[in-house]
Structure 1
Amino acid sequence: MNKLVKRMSLLGALLISMIVLSSCGTREAAHQSVWQHAKQTDSITWGVKADTKLFGLMDVKDSKIKGFDVDIAQALTKKMLGKNGKANFVQVSSQTRIPLLKNGNIDAVIATMTITPDREKIVDFSNSYFDAGQSLLVKKGSPIKNVKDLNKTGTKVIGVVGANSVENIQKFAPKASVLQLQDYAQALTALKSGQGQALTTDNGILFGMAVDNPDYRVVGGTFTKEPYGIAINKGQGEFKSNINKALHEIEADGTYNRIIKKWFGNIAGFNYKEVER
C-alpha cells in the first residue's frame, strides 16, 4: 500500500511539473516579439470566427473560412510582410478569442471584436477597422420594432456568451431576460424555435443571418456604436504600429473599400456607404 501511495504521489508530482512547464512555455511564447517572429517566418496567425456570415464563415465545400475579416487580415499581411507573406487562420469564438491570444496560440484577433474599456485592460487594440452598431433580429411580423419594445417583464432576448451585446441589452432593456448561448448558430436556432423574441448583436452580423433567413429581418436601426478593433497582446507595440500602418495603407489605396463592397454591397437594408473609408 505504501509503495502504491508513493507511486501515485510521484505520478502526481510529474503531472504538475508538466503542466507548469507547459504553461511557462506558453507564457514565454505570448511575450516574445510577435513582429520579429512574423518577419522571420513570413507569416501571421490570425484568430477569426467561422460561424459569422459576411465576417468569417466556414465554407463546407473547401473547408476554408471566408469573410470580410479574413480578407482584411490577408490584405494587412501582404502590406506588412510583402507579397510572399502568409496569413494563417485559427477558428475562435467570442469566449475563446482572448484566451487563445493571451496563451500565444494566435498573433492577433480579427473577429468582430468591439473595442471596449474593459477589454483594453486585458489586450491592446489597433485602430478601428469597421464601424458597427448593435441591432435586433426578429421574425417578420414581430411587434418588436426597436430596443425599447424589449423593456417588458417576460420578454426574452437571445445573445452570445462573451459578446458585449448582452451587457448592452441589460442597460437598454433592464426588464428583459437574456438567454446566452455559445455561438451565433445556436442563437439563431433558438430564435427560430421561439426561445426568445429577438436576437441581438452587431448589425453587420445580423444582416448576414437575414440573408440566409428571409423570414427574419433586422429592425430598430443601431442603438450603440461598436467599433471593431484587431486585438493583440500587451507589450507588442511594434506589431501594433505595423498593423495600424498597414490598415491606413489599405484604406488609402482603395483596398479596404473594395473588400467592403465585396461583402456588403448587395446586402438589402445595409448601407455599406456608411462604413466605407
Structure 2
Amino acid sequence: MPERGPDERQGAARRALPGRRGRARRRDRRALFLAAAGLALAGGVLAGSLPPGPLAGSPEAGRTRATEARHADHGPAPAAVPERCADGRDPVESYPPARIAGSAVEDIRERGQLVVGIDQNSYLWGYRSPQTGEIVGFDIDLVRAIAEDLLGPGAEVRFLAIPTDQRIPALRDGVVDMVVRTMSITCERWEEVAFSTAYFETGQQLLVPDDSPIEGFDDSLDGMRVCRANGSTAARLLDSESHGAQLVGADNHLDCLVRVQLGLADALMTDGALAAGHLAQDPSMRLADTALTHESYGVAMNLADTDLVSWVNAVLEDYRAPGPDGEPSEWLRSYDRWLARYLYDPATDPPPAPPEPRYRDPTDP
C-alpha cells in the first residue's frame, strides 16, 4: 500500500472519530454543500434504472427537539455482534467455490453481457466519475473482475441503477444477474436471494451534522428525525428498536444525506463504510457513535442460480489472494484506491484485509 503523508493520515483519523477538531471551520463550509445538495436527489441514469418503491415514511411538519429527560422505556443500544440464523447457521456461509458452467452461467455467456444492479449514488462504492463519466468505485471494481472472469477481457457489463428496496425484487424477477450494491448478508435475505461469501465488513452508524446534539443511539435521539433507506438493514434496525425518533424514509442513503443537509432530517443511519463516502463529500458531518451492528457485504444472486454463486465465490478467492510475487491482491488495490484514505489510519488500525470466506457444508440442504 502506498505510503500516505501525515496530513492524509491525520485526516483519516479525524473522520473516523466523532469528536474531530476544526468543527467551526467545517460548519462554515456547510453552506457550500447545501447549494448543490438538491442535485443529488435528481440522480441520473446509467444504462437503465428501476422505478423506486413507495416511501416507508416522510418528514413530519415541525421540528421537535430532544428533551433532557431520559426515558426508561428506551431500550439499550443493540450489541455489535454477528447475526446467527434460527437454524444455527452463520449467514455469511456460502456455496463452495467452483467454476462450473450451469444454466445461469450459460445464460450470461449466450447473452454475451452481464447485467448488474448497482447504486449510482454511493461515493467511493458506485458512482459516475465527474472527470471521466465512467461508473467507478469499490463495488464496480469487483463487478468488472467478475465479468471478465465469466466473459473474458473487455467483457460487456450493463449497469442498472436500483433503489435499495428494489434489489431483491430485481433478482427474483430476473431483471439482473446479480446485485453488487453494498448489500448486507442477513438470514432474512437468504430466504429470498443467495449470497456470495463476504467481501467487506461494516456496521450501522449514525451520521449527524457537527453541531448536532445527538450523541449516539440513546435518548439524545428522542424526537429527532432519523432518515434511512427503505429496505436497508438500517431500516430494519430502526424499526425493531426503541429510540423515540421520528423515522424518515428515502430510496437511497444519499437521499438521506441530502435531507439532513437541507434540514429535512436530523440524522441518517447507514453502514459505517458508506458513511465514509458521505464524510468525504461533506466534512461538516460526523459519526455520532461506534458501530451498532456487525454486518458483511456480499454479491446477491437469484436463489436458483447456485452455479453462478459458486462461480462468483471462485472469483472472490482469486480477488482476495496476493499476486504470485507477493503483489497486493486485487481487493487490497481497490481498497487502497477508494477507501483507505477515509477508513484506515495506519497509526491505530491493523492492516486492511478482506473477510475470510466461510463455506457451507456441501451436504447441507
- Shorter-chain TM range is 0.7 to 0.9
Residue number in structure 1 paired with 2:330 = 255
Equivalent pairs counted in the alignment come to 245
238, 243, 249: which one aligns with 1:180: 249
252, 260, 265: which one aligns with 2:340: 265
353, 360, 363: which one aligns with 1:276: 353
Q: In structure 1, give the amino acid aligned to 2:209.
A: K
- From the superposition, tell whether residues 41 and 275 of structure 1 become closer, same or farther in structure 2 (CA, over 3 Å): farther
Structure 1 residue 151, shift from structure 2 partner = 4.6
Are positions 1:220 and 2:289 aligned together?
A: yes
Mapping 1:42-191, distance limit 5 Å: 42-60=112-130, 62-152=132-222, 154-191=223-260
Where 2:218 maps in the other structure, the secondary structure is helix
Is the contact made by 1:44 and 1:77 (CA closer than 8 Å) also made in structure 2?
yes
Where 1:201 maps in the other structure, the secondary structure is strand
Structure 1 residue 73, shift from structure 2 partner = 0.9
| Structure 2, unaligned runs of 5 or more | 1-101, 323-328, 355-365
Where 2:236 maps in the other structure, the secondary structure is helix
Is the contact made by 1:148 and 1:172 (CA closer than 8 Å) also made in structure 2?
no
Structure 1 residue 273, shift from structure 2 partner = 5.3
- From the superposition, tell whether residues 274 and 120 of structure 1 become closer, same or farther in structure 2 (CA, over 3 Å): farther
Show CA shifts across 1:9-30 (max 9, x none).
Answer: xxxxxxxxxxxxxxxxxxxxxx
Structure 1 residue 85, shift from structure 2 partner = 3.1
Where 1:267 maps in the other structure, the secondary structure is helix
Is the contact made by 1:207 and 1:218 (CA closer than 8 Å) also made in structure 2?
no
Q: In structure 1, give the amino acid aligned to 2:338.
A: W
Q: Distance in 1 between matches of 2:221 and 2:155?
A: 49
Q: In structure 2, give the amino acid aligned to 1:222.
A: A
Q: Distance in 2 between matches of 1:238 and 1:213?
A: 41
Is the contact made by 1:147 and 1:172 (CA closer than 8 Å) also made in structure 2?
no
Two-structure CA RMSD over aligned residues (Å) = 2.2
- From the superposition, tell whether residues 172 and 270 of structure 1 become closer, same or farther in structure 2 (CA, over 3 Å): farther
Where 2:165 maps in the other structure, the secondary structure is coil
Show CA shifts across 1:195-249 (max 9, x none).
Answer: 3221111011111111111111123121101211111111111111000010111
- From the superposition, tell whether residues 219 and 275 of structure 1 become closer, same or farther in structure 2 (CA, over 3 Å): farther
Q: In structure 2, give the amino acid aligned to 1:113.
A: M
State the TM-score, normalizing by the size of structure 2.
0.62
Where 1:113 maps in the other structure, the secondary structure is coil
Larger proportion of strand: 1
Structure number with greater Rg is 1
State the TM-score, normalizing by the size of structure 1.
0.81
Larger proportion of helix: 1
Q: Distance in 1 between matches of 2:333 and 2:343?
A: 18
| Structure 1, unaligned runs of 5 or more | 1-31
